[in-house]
Chains A and B, each alone.
Chain A
Amino acid sequence: MDIGRYIARRLLLAIFVLLGVLVVTFILSHSYGDPIYAWLGKNAALHPNLVKLYEDKYHLNDPVYIQFYYYIVGLAQGNLGVSPSRGFEPVSQVIEQTLPFTLQIAFFAIVMTLVMGIALGIAASFYYKRPVDYGVRAFYLAGYASPSFFVALILLIVLVYYLHLLPSGEAVGVGIFPPHVITGIPMLDALIQGDWTYLGSALQHIILPSLALALTTFGVVTRILRSSVLDVMQSNYIRTARAKGVNERTVFLRHGLRNAMIPVITVSSLIVTFILTGTVFVEYIFAYPGMGQYVVQALLGQDFPGILACTLIYALLIVLTNLAADILYVVVDPQIRLG
């Protein structure tokens, strides 16, 4: 099978997975209860006809499959419904405002995770069974075991309140205007237009949330890279390279590390899932205006259209990463057969 057909088949499968995600989440979130009282607050008790009006408008009294039908029809037209927790603003509009910020955090968190994870993984394998190795191991165990909201709180107290190193809250400093929209992702737009004031401030604001995520996730990379470097460096081709008189640096970088990196691709979907889950907490704690904060708001307001849309988008991001990882896998490792 050539790579084009492989990608096409995987894309088709991804569409089915997303449809499945939609069905599962829809059924689970619509299986119980009437959210109308949470939506309308005390108005619900005061105005019975208002309840009726909203129930009719959003088909709340119809069976789940009828509601699902309306949802799918809306979805096909790009309509994700309205978000009661945001004053009945269209969900698609809220997503459009919040998703770019989550993508920014996720991007920086992934970069930091990879940098920390790879550096420490190499360090640990170099100093195998020596103090550095044990230190790295303790560090990633502590990071992995700490909930991201806890790490975020500690960073907040140490770096913001005690050391005054970094600002916290919102995506940029007060009074800084966002750049003109080109891609929709503010930091990228600022970079394209050379808006250094915005970019500088945005960078300062994004370090903490992404660092909190990286600290809880880098262990996944370190752990797998450490053992894979140890494995690879004992293999025959490394011995051959050394026997040929290739210097140790080249042996490690050209022959060792390149092959040892392949298993890291395998855990990429785990990393992305960890980081997306973490954004829910760090955005909430650092008051970063992304989709994670919206999920929490939607949750507290029983805003099912909001929760549903966010779940779908998280799933889309994960499915796309998996697809990218699988393709990358085939590209870097010619031993893998497509099937």
Chain B
Amino acid sequence: MTEKTKPKNQMSLGRLAFITGDAKVRVNKEMIIGGVIVAFFVVVAIAVTIADILHITITPYNPDTPNVGPLFGPPSLAHPMGTDNLGRDQLSRILAATPNAVVIGFVVVGFSLALGLIIGSFAGFHGGFADEALMRLTDIFFAIPALVLAIAIVAALHASLLNLMIALMIVWWPAYARLSRGETLKVSHQNYIEAARTSGYGSARIIFRHVLPNIFVTLVVYATLDIGTVILTYSGLSYLGLSVPPPAPDWGYMVASFGDSLLSDPWLPLFPGLLIAISVIGFSIFGDGFRDAISGN
């Protein structure tokens, strides 16, 4: 098949892969600003994780070593974000906690995207009982605030990063299933799907080869915007002490444990809180820009 006769509606996946190559998808200012912030957190997360595996410290100080500076030391050249109640370097602790947020954001959204795509497109394509059952199930999940349900799950499983991730995954995928179903319904009346049906292809082949590639982009755009929301919810659970057990650092928990020091040593709760906000802003701006770029505005 030559380039000219390539069916237009199968461009979606290609578009995503060659974002800068397609004239319709111009990288905009928001994607760059958001992308820089996101890239910063991702790079830090990868670097910290690799260093952790190799047992080397790449943060300015070892995040868990006490008395590397004064107790409750204000921000200084040696400790740009100050030191905490045990004299640990706060910048190092914040950097060391970055992988938690990044991994949870990507894993929870990635899992929800994959499961939601499969279940949603199947239900949307086949209709009938499976579809009805799925919709009622998502109704149930939509009626419970994600954070509250996650609290119930983590409380039962006991606090750890893995359990927190599992809780968020259980709570998160229904939104993706519902969105995939809606998008599947939109494309399943298109001519190329009818053509595939008439050609006698099985439904698995039609779903994987024709439906999924066409709804994928919409779902990915939603997912990009959603990573920030996952990080927000995770930081809330972390604030309540449902994430990694201390002394390991975690943003939300750092805000919680130094909430009382707000008057005397404001840098202790302020910096981790700011970092949460900046990471969420990064993903939101990038997602907004990405959506505008895809829809051609």
Contact = CB atoms under 8 A, between A and B. Distances in A.
Instruction: State the 6 A-B residue pairs at the shortest beta-carbon distance, nearest first.
Output: A20-B140, A145-B280, A150-B273, A145-B281, A315-B143, A146-B277
Nearest to B273: A150
A108 interface: no
Given A280-B147, A285-B259, A146 B156 contact: no
Contact of B228 (A145, A154, A302, A311): A145
Contacts of A232: none
B281 A29 contact: no
Interface string B144-185: 111111011101111000000000001000000000000000
Interface of A: 13, 16-18, 20-21, 24-25, 28-33, 141-142, 144-150, 153-154, 156-157, 161, 269, 273, 276-277, 280-281, 285, 295-296, 299-300, 302, 304, 307-308, 310-311, 314-315, 318-319, 322
Given A161-B263, A299-B240, A153 B149 contact: no
B285 interface: yes
A293 B14 CA distance: 50
A210 B269 CA distance: 21
Residue of B143, B151, B239, B277 contacting most chain A CB atoms (<10 Å): B143
Q: Is the interface of B mostly helix, strand, loop or mixed?
A: helix
A20 B156 contact: no
Given A144-B284, A280-B148, A150 B277 contact: yes
* B-side interface size class: 35 or more
Given A21-B140, A149-B236, A28 B153 contact: yes
Contacts of A32: 156-158
Contacts of B262: 153, 156-157, 161
A277 B236 CA distance: 9
A29 B156 contact: yes
Contacts of B141: 24
Interface in B243-282: 252, 255-256, 259, 262-263, 266, 269-270, 273, 276-278, 280-281
Contact of A311 (B142, B152, B256, B263): B152
Residue of B156, B157, B259, B281 contacting most chain A CB atoms (<10 Å): B156
Nearest to A26: B152
A51 B235 CA distance: 35
B204 interface: no
B152 A25 contact: yes
Given A28-B149, A299-B155, A21 B143 contact: yes
B146 A277 contact: yes
A318 B252 CA distance: 26
Nearest to A279: B145
Residue of A16, A148, A299 contacting most chain B CB atoms (<10 Å): A299
